[in-house]
Amino acid sequence: MEKQNFEETIYGDPSRQEEKLPENPTPSEKVKLASKHKERGTRFLVQGKLEEALVELDRAFVFVFSPRDEWELLYSNEDREVINRFKVPCHLNRGLCKWKLGKLEDALWDFDETLRLDPTNIKALYRRGSIYLQLVERELQKEEEKELWDPEKAEKLLSQAKHDLRRAYGLLPGDSSIIASLHAAKVQEQKLSTAIREYRLQQRKIFSFAFKKLEEKNSKEEATEEELPKLERISLDTF
C-alpha cells in the first residue's frame, strides 16, 4: 500500500489530474494550487515519509514558478511578495527533508534561499548552522581516520556555523536547541584547534624531512663532482 501511494505521488494520482493552472494565472491563483502540494508535503514530512514529501514540495515550486521576464516586468511588488512569502516555508520544509535524508549540501541551498527571502528566519539560521557543524564533523572524522582532509575548509565551516547560530540565539535567546548547538560548536572548535596543531606539526616534519633529503642529495652531487678525474687537455692543432 505504501508503494502504491508513493507511485501515485510521483506519477500523479488520477484524481489530481485536473490540477492545472488557468491561462495567465494571477500570483494568488498560483499560490492556491501550490498550497495543496505544500500541505501534502508537510503532512508527509510529519509522518516521516521524506521522499514523498520532497516530491510534493517540488511540485509546489513548479506551480509558483515564473519566467524571469514575467517576474520582473509583469509582476508588481505586491505580487512578488505573495509568491516569496509562500516560498519561505516551502524552502524550510524541503531543506529539512533533504537534511534528514543526509543531502546536506542540497539542504544548504534551500536554507540559503530561505534567508535570502527572509534574512531573520530563525529556523533557517539554526538549521543551516547545524548543517555546517555536521560538515565540520565530517572533516574531523577524516582527520581521525588519517584520511586527506582540509583544515581551512573546516575552519571556514565552523566560522559560518557560529555566525548563524549566534544570529539565531540573538533573535531567540534561551532556546534550548540553539544553546545546545552553540555548545557543540565550542566543543568542535577545541577539537579542530587540536587537529590543526597536529596537522601543522606533521606538515613541518614532512617538509623538514624533504629538505634534509634534498640537502643530502646536493651534498652527494658536490662530492661526486670533486672526485671526478681531471681530463687531460688535448691540443686541436695536432693529430
Q: How far apart are CA 38 and CA 176, in angstroms?
A: 28
pLDDT of residue 202: 76
Helix or strand (DSSP H, E) at 230: none
pLDDT in tens, 127-171: 999 999 999 999 999 999 989 999 999 999 999 999 999 999 999
Arithmetic mean of pLDDT, 163-184: 97
Per the listing, cell 574531523 goes with 140
Arithmetic mean of pLDDT, 206-233: 58
Contacts of 185 (CB under 8 A, 6+ apart): 129, 133, 158, 161, 162, 165
pLDDT of residue 78: 95
pLDDT of residue 199: 83
The crossing angle, in degrees rounded to 10, of helices 50-64 and 2-11 is: 20
Locate 165 and state its grid cell.
547560530
Q: How far apart are CA 233 and CA 230, in angstroms?
A: 9
Locate 155 and state its grid cell.
575552519
SS3 call for 69 = helix
Look at phi and psi of residue 69 and say left if phi exceeds 0, alpha if psi is from -120 to 50, else beta. alpha
To the nearest 10°, report the CA torsion of 134, 137, 139, 143. Answer: -170
Q: Is the pLDDT of residue 223 over 70?
A: no
Helix or strand (DSSP H, E) at 233: none
pLDDT of residue 8: 40
Which DSSP letter does residue 199 get? H
SS3 content of the chain, % helix, strand, coil (to 5): 80, 0, 20
More confident residue, 234 or 229: 229
Dihedrals phi, psi of 119, to nearest 5 degrees: -60, -20
Query: For the stretch 208-227, what's the b/e string if a residue is b when 16 or more beta carbons lie within 10 angstroms of its beta carbon?
Result: eeeeeeeeeeeeeeeeeeee
pLDDT in tens, 72-106: 998 999 999 999 999 999 999 999 999 999 999 99
Q: Is the pLDDT of residue 59 over 50?
A: yes
CATH topology of domain 1-119: 1.25.40
Locate 127 and state its grid cell.
538549521
Arithmetic mean of pLDDT, 226-230: 58
pLDDT of residue 207: 57
Q: How far apart are CA 49 and CA 139, in angstroms?
A: 30
